[in-house]
Structure 1
Amino acid sequence: MNAFSAVYWKEVRENLRDRRTLINALITGPLLGPVLFIMLMNVMVNRELARADQPIHVPVIGAELAPHFVAALKAAGIDADPGVKDAQRAVHDMTADVVIRIAPDYVQAWNKGQSVQVELVYDSSRRDANTAVGRVRAVVENYARREGAMRLIARGLSPSTAWPVTVADRDQATSQSRSALMFSFLPYFFVLTVFMGGMYLAIDLTAGERERQSLEPLFVNPVARWKILAGKLAAICTFAIISLLLSVAAFSTAPWFIPTEKLGIALDLGFHFGARVVVLMLPLILLLAALQSLVSAFAKSYREAQTYLSILMIIPILPSALLSVIPVKPEAWMYAVPLLGQNLGIVQLMRGDGITGQELASCLAGGFVAAALAVWATALMYRSERLAISA
């Protein structure tokens, strides 16, 4: 057995015995996050779908002035409750999601064929009330259009006279591309899973051994430093890959629990999607492993290395955060930028657009070049005798 294999299997076996590493690398990151997200989405979606189908109760101020309007609400599954004294207070205190207020001059304006006012009082910052507000608004607008058309017909005019321009929607979104909106966070989650999968092992193999003063005996052996580094990096990458595979497998179960048919989306997170995600993430696995080892090498204790890597963890957030705030049109050069290229590629896979061979090659080439530079910098750090000194 050569030095590389000896170091690799030694680190893998030792960390398999470490419950803290196993829990954080193989359970907390790759499994707990997807499970919680899928459960939360399942509860939220089913709750909203149930609310959309069930009758809702809405206080109507001045209901006696517009019996036909109240009947239209009733036909649409909206029951008119007795009005409240203070509509704003009722919405603020969450005793009502939305309150309808009919103007006192409704009857006079209606009889004269004039425009009448119906107010919807609601709080747009309450997300739980958005479904009810949307239903009420749609019913009111449909009622207004229908009654307006009837007025025109009574005067011998075509209803189209009031709408000289009509809008014809041609939505080019597919059922799969719409699902990308719901799972737009996946690229960041996969990167974070890889980061967390190897982080604790990287800390232990560098700062941890430095704190335990076990690096110096290791470096005394007549073995090239690069072989020791290669074995450690391979062990870190192994745990990161396993963490990524578990995360991909966990997310692939999402279509089983989320009612995608009712949402009108197609969620394809199966084997082909997972395999292409793993290929895209290969350069990042090596890049993050090298960066974690390099940063940990500057720390003299396990706790100090945790602090440094917590700051380094901000880097995977940047592409996803920027793309969520500033949507950009993908350009060819963007795929060669580590993290950004993976983010764009995974989003394209979720949308069902696929990724071309040139885009994949750019993504892998840019990522492996950055990884090679990080490995080279870490190798220079391993050549320093100061690395073995704990204090």
Structure 2
Amino acid sequence: MLNKNSFRFSLTVYRKELRDALRDRRAMRMAFLPPLYFVAIFVGLVFFAVSMENDKKVAGVNSIPVYVEGEQNLPELVAWLREQGAVIKTVESGAYQQIKDKKIDFALIIPDEAKQKRAKGESAPVWLVYDGANQKLSSSIGFVRSQFYTWSWRVGSINLMARGLAPDVGTPVMLREDNIADEQKMSVYLLASVPLTLLLAAFIGSVGFSADMTAGERERRSLESLLITPASTFSVYLGKWLTSVSLTVVILIMQLVLLAIAFRFLPFNQLGLRVDVNYIDLINVFWVLVPVVFFAVALQLSLSIFAKSFKDAQSLIAGLVFVPMMLNFYTMFNPGVFHEWWLWVPVLGQAVVIKEILLGGAIVSFAFWKFWFVGLMITCLAFWVGIKQLRRPKIVYGQ
């Protein structure tokens, strides 16, 4: 089966299938547009995050609008909020009802008794009223709450010192936090979608071509005429596989080039992130993805052979797309979890290593060899199944 003529026939089939694929403009658009969409969505998410960050800042300080009713009762608290950058909006009365009517988002309500109790040295009640169902208020509410506690602690410390007591008496325990994650690691949440889009491109780039070259030809009754030529079933399968692999590799390269341009010009620094992805990193990502392309295309071709029509083939192999999605979602929701055996799991290992490469982490030793070994084993198995099916009269003649 394997001889000089086999590879010569494979190249002939490859040229024929590649020419047919390039002529199908609709299929080419369907294959090359998703990478553009993936990169465009990623760029849009980054600029959306930058816009949200800029909305909260003016000249480097927070500019959160805070509605206050009863400002005259605790003017020192209101002055403190202004110093921290809050934009105070005075509400004469009815702040509670305005929040219920959704005219304003939240408000500090300082009753008259707060002024009286503050003068007596007693605890003054202050109400922070908001609608907890509105999730977009979490950052604003957190800002007001933290500044209120800070001001309250400062006032309490002054009161203790006025009575000849050390301020530490009021705070017997102090909690200190130390976030050991550097800026590079904090960007994991923003870059978490990149491995998924790359793996999806490796899987869906050749779906249309693989389905058309097998189930499509079977539906058009042209597969029979191809198999009666001197070319062996191995040569026919290899030529079709090379066609889908070539097109998918081009799609991957295009997406990586677009990502390189995006990483070069996107304003990650405005988000406090340090994303340093160079061309060597993207080359490493490409070599990680190539084995995925090999076995993904082989699996698509072998599954498509079982389908009786082009539409049936697309439905059958569409399930393969869920493989990278499910495994990548697991790594996204469990960023701190890693096991060595993951590197032997197709797609899961690639997702972990791609994320590490993009975040500037060290590549696990022999990870590339594991990917290539497992990928080639799955590819050979899919080859064996596909070639065996091409030799069955029921598949070829549709009996």
Higher mean Cα deviation, 144-153 or 195-204?
144-153
- Return the match for 2:314 from 282, 306, 314: 306
Aligned to 1:19: 25
Query: What is aligned with 2:3?
Result: none
1:59–1:84 CA contact under 8 A, matched in 2: no
Give the stretch that moved more between structures: 128-137 or 378-387. Answer: 128-137
3-state DSSP of counterpart to 2:109: strand
State the alpha-carbon separation in 2 of the partners of residues 127 and 228 from structure 1: 57
Structure 1: 5+ residue stretches without partners? none
Tell me the distance in 2 between the aligned counterparts of 1:10 and 1:268: 42
1:368 aligns with 2:376: yes
Larger CA deviation: 163-172 vs 290-299: 163-172
Asked whether the 8 Å contact 1:58–1:96 carries over to 2, the reply is no
Preserved CA contact (<8 Å) 2:69 2:95: no
Q: 1:254 to 1:126 in 2, by over 3 A?
A: farther
Matched, 1:144 2:156: no
Partner of 1:32: 37
Task: Call closer, same or farther: CA 1:376–1:152 in 2, change over 3 Å.
Answer: farther
Distance, in Å, in 1 between the alignment partners of 2:186 and 2:93 is 40
Query: What is the number of equivalent residue pairs in this alignment?
Result: 389
Report the identity percentage: 28
- In structure 2, do the counterparts of structure 1 residues 255 and 171 end up closer, same or farther at CA, with 3 Å as the change threshold? same
Task: Please tell me whether the aligned partners of residues 108 and 126 of structure 2 are also in contact (alpha carbons under 8 angstroms).
Answer: yes
Instruction: Give per-residue Cα distances to partners, 1:291-311, cap 9 Å, x unaligned.
Output: 111221121111111222223
Once the two structures are overlaid, the 10-residue window that deviates more, 222-231 or 79-88, is: 79-88
CA change 1:70–1:283 in 2 (3 A) is: same
Within the candidate set 371, 388, 392, 1:380 is matched to: 388
What's the CA shift for 1:124? 4.7
Q: Take 2:97 and 2:234, find their aligned partners in 1: how far apart are those partners?
A: 70
Work out the CA distance in 1 between the residues paired with 2:223 and 2:170: 83
Contact (CA 8 Å) 2:275, 2:359: kept in 1 or not? no
Q: The residue matched to 1:96 in structure 2 has which SS?
A: coil
Q: Distance in 1 between matches of 2:98 and 2:291?
A: 56
**What one-letter code is carried by the residue in structure 1 that aligns with 2:253?**
L
Q: 2-side partners of 1:231 and 1:140: how far apart? A: 70
Structure 1 residues 146 and 91 mapped into 2: Cα distance closer, same or farther (>3 Å)?
Answer: farther
1:2 aligns with 2:32: no
Other-structure match for 1:199? 207
Q: TM-score, normalised by structure 1?
A: 0.91
RMSD: 2.3
Deviates most, 248-257 or 140-149: 248-257
**1:294 and 1:378 in contact (8 A); partners too:** yes
The whole-number CA distance in structure 2 between the counterparts of 1:88 and 1:124 is 15
- Return the TM-score normalized by structure 2: 0.90
Using the alignment, how far apart are the partners of 2:258 and 2:190 within structure 1? 16
In structure 2, what is the Cα distance between the partners aligned to 1:171 and 1:91? Answer: 38
Contact preservation (8 Å) 2:67, 2:90: yes
